[in-house]
Amino acid sequence: MSANDVVIVGAGLAGAKTAEALRAGGYGGGIVLVGEERHLPYERPALSKEGLIDGPVGEKVQVHPEGWYAEHDVDLITDCPVTDVDVRAHRVSLTGSASLRYESLVLTTGAAPRRLRVEGSDLGGVHHLRTVEDSTALYAALAGAPRTVVIGGGWIGLEVAAAARSRGAEVTVLEQAPVPMERVLGTRMADVLLRAHRDRGVDVRGGVEVRALLPQGHGRVAAVLLGDGTVLAADVVVVGIGAQPRTELAQRSGLEVSNGIVVDAGLRSSAPDVYAAGDTANAWHPTLGRHLRVEHWDNALHQPETVAASILGVDAPYDRLPYFFSDQYDLGLEYTGWVDPTVAHDVVVRGDEASGRFMAFWLRDGRVAAGMGVNEWGQMDAVQDLIRSGSLVDLSLLADPDVPLPDLDASVRT
């Protein structure tokens, strides 16, 4: 390999899109994309949604068809973990004795599910959800409407609960916080999701501690033991207690790591010629004025454009506002912006919550910090404009569904 090659470690959405962005930007050098999974690079959102309801997602989630990599002169290496990175020698070591020399290195190593640290967490019938194999196994496990306990009431946990309940399973959700999603959405909007699940027969329990997972014969889980001594029967247990950035390579190579690989607005790390993108990147956000690590599809989709620009010598800081979406039952949710969970925010609702179609806005000192649409589509660009304006908003106009959001943005700028 020549010295003017880009090596991308991590063949998920962010890695594949980095290769695409480099070629689209005119980069003519060699590109090597290395992944530890045996699959072509794929997108993950469907794994907790239609993958659990309709069945294995297969080729539908591939970032590019198989032939794309050869057509664009991208050397894709799958099923090959990277064991070490030497930032001084500009060298990546692969499993075995092989190594790759790079001019620019991009780390898109993603995140890994947090593991439950209690007795019995390694029993059969206990599932995590991150890979195609995880989704396929859980889809099969949910056949026959088993008694399902979901540990963790975050986005993944609630999406799994919705899918399991939609397939007829008896579902219990266990959450340490008093109400699932309260830290992210606040009490009022978290209650919308709580009601959606309870109205469909899901037993949602907040403020609980999981003490142990109890076995039956043949090493399979049979029940969940709670901190108060309650025993919940379970045929399937799904652990959805969050994810942690995969920073092992970065730490061993001496990169600055703090809640992910610390990078600037151009996604450059603390070492020359080393970049990071996607779930593992804790990036400086110039609009929000802070470092932010975002574990959502939109981030992995768009950060590669900034990485490619930085490698090509173009100044294009990553300043997209965080965005994510979730599907639960007949609720489609879109959220954009960022709310500091340690600071109180006002909530303004536009529309009728009871109708299942409305918007909610989080405001700090009269300025919009974030917005969410519930079965309201095509509004996120206008919400982002309101956030970026940083202007005081007339709350009565914000709450009025007859006032188009673009008109509201125009009013705050004049």
Give me the amino acid identity at 409: D
Q: Using the 3D structure, point to which of 260, 281, 311 is the last residue of a domain.
A: 311
Within this chain, do residues 124 and 198 fall inside the same structural domain, yes or no? yes
Same domain (yes/no): 177, 223: yes
d(CA 141, CA 101): 43
Asked if residue 199 and residue 50 are part of one domain, the reply reads: no
Contacts of 262 (CB under 8 A, 6+ apart): 255, 256, 269, 270, 282, 291
Assigned domain for 350 exists: yes
Q: What is the DSSP letter of 315?
A: -
| Same domain as 248, residue 200 | no
321 inside domain: no
Reported as a single tens digit per residue, the pLDDT across 72-119 is: 999 999 999 999 999 999 999 998 878 999 999 999 999 999 999 999
Asked whether residue 322 is domain-assigned, the answer is: no
| 9's tokens | 């470690």
Q: Same domain for 200 and 265?
A: no
Asked if residue 208 and residue 266 are part of one domain, the reply reads no
Q: What is the DSSP letter of 324?
A: E
* Residue 410 predicted with pLDDT over 70: no
The full 3-state SS of 364-380, as one line of letters, equals ECCEEEEEEEECCCCCH
Give a yes or no: residue 323 inside a domain.
no
Q: Are residues 248 and 235 in the same domain?
A: no
Q: Provide the number of structural domains found in the chain.
A: 3
Q: pLDDT digit string (tens) for 191-225? A: 999 999 999 999 999 999 999 999 998 899 999 99
pLDDT at 409: 63
DSSP-derived pairing of the beta strands 99-101 and 91-94 = antiparallel
Same domain, 121 and 234: yes
Long-range contacts of 254-258 (CB under 8 A, 24+ apart): 254/87, 255/87, 258/282, 258/291
| Residue 319 forms part of a structural domain | no
The answer to whether residue 277 is domain-embedded is: yes
Q: How confident is the model at residue 326 (pLDDT cuts 50, 70, 90)?
A: very high
Does residue 169 share a domain with residue 157? Answer: yes
CATH of the domain at 371: 3.30.390.30
Q: How far apart are CA 171 and CA 82, in angstroms?
A: 39
Q: Are 36 and 76 in contact (CB under 8 A)?
A: no
Confirm whether 407 is domain-assigned: yes
In angstroms, the CA 230 to CA 37 distance is 39
The residue range of the domain holding 372 is 330-412
Which CATH number does the domain housing residue 62 bear? 3.50.50.60
- pLDDT tens digits, 237-272: 999 999 999 999 999 999 999 999 999 999 999 999
Domain endpoint, select from 189, 210, 239? 239
**DSSP code, position 45:** G
In three-state secondary structure terms, 89 is coil
Q: Give the residue from 191, 219, 239 where a domain finishes.
A: 239
Whether 337 and 322 have beta carbons less than 8 Å apart is answered as yes
357 domain residue, yes or no: yes
